[in-house]
Amino acid sequence: MPLTDFLLGIVIPPLALLPMFQLYRVIDRKPDIVLLPLESDVLLFLLFFIATIISLGNGMHLAAVSIDRKTIDLTEEEKDLLHVIDFFHHSFSHAFIFIPILIGTFLYLLFEINHPELNALPNWQIYALAFFGLVVGLVFGMAVIEGSGAVLFIPILAIILLVTVILDKYLHLDLRRLPLMIFLGTSYMTHLLLLLVWGFHYRGWPEVIGELVKIPGIPARRRDNKK
């Protein structure tokens, strides 16, 4: 396995979970006002379960990538194997990674509703959170496009945003006391808008790498030439 795949697939994921559970501890220390019937222990179990699903998808992704690197010299009769590899490499394993991440962040948003900040945030912090949410939304949106998951993510993001708006109106939430909702809400909206604009402009969701391979000097990917 190449060093980059080893670092991205095995070393970085568990390290990325550490700040997420630290964030859980920070939110849990705040006063509990119980606007939603969501127990902290139940949420923690769900977050561990989601982390397990992400690990499963990550394992499938790494296995498919490793196999893909060993299929360079396939005969024409064996090229159908690439269709199977591509399914696990892109559609299937990426769904096991990205969808739980989306659901997990939404659970954090619900958790924060029961543990708001004691004081309203100043305007500069609200603007900063919204800006970073925009950046994360763009990055995550491009990752989903690269992972061939746009069609699946558009309805999921729309539902999450709709539920968030309903909760905000029904519970009369003060967004100035919910920094995570500001950050994630901006990220969700940016992500959804990027997918919609990309799909409308290209009449689909072509990958960035798929566009770059048209440039002379950049070798084409096998998955684009296997048809």
Is the distance from CB of 36 to CB of 114 less than 8 angstroms? yes
Please tell me the distance from the alpha carbon of residue 180 to that of residue 138, in angstroms, as a whole number.
17
Please state, rounded to an integer, the average pLDDT across all residues of the chain: 81
Q: Give the DSSP letter of residue 79.
A: T
Per-residue pLDDT tens digits for 131-168: 999 999 999 898 888 877 888 889 999 999 999 999 98
Average pLDDT over every residue of 176-192: 94
From residue 85, alpha-carbon distances to 10, 26, 61, 139, 172 in Å are 20, 41, 9, 25, 48
Instruction: Return the sign of the alpha-carbon dihedral for residues 187, 191, 194, 156.
Output: negative
Share of the chain above pLDDT 70, in %: 82
Q: Select the more confidently predicted residue: 140 or 3.
A: 140
Q: Which secondary-structure segment (H or E) carries 62?
A: helix 40-68
Q: Select the more confidently predicted residue: 212 or 78.
A: 78
Task: Flag whether pLDDT at 176 surpasses 80.
Answer: yes
CA atoms within 13 A on the CB side of 140: 24
Residue with tokens 């500001």: 182
Is the distance from CB of 24 to CB of 44 less than 8 angstroms? yes
Q: How confident is the model at residue 19 (pLDDT cuts 50, 70, 90)?
A: confident
pTM of the model: 0.77
pLDDT for 70: 67
Helix and strand element counts for the chain (H, E): 10, 0
Task: Flag whether pLDDT at 213 surpasses 50.
Answer: no
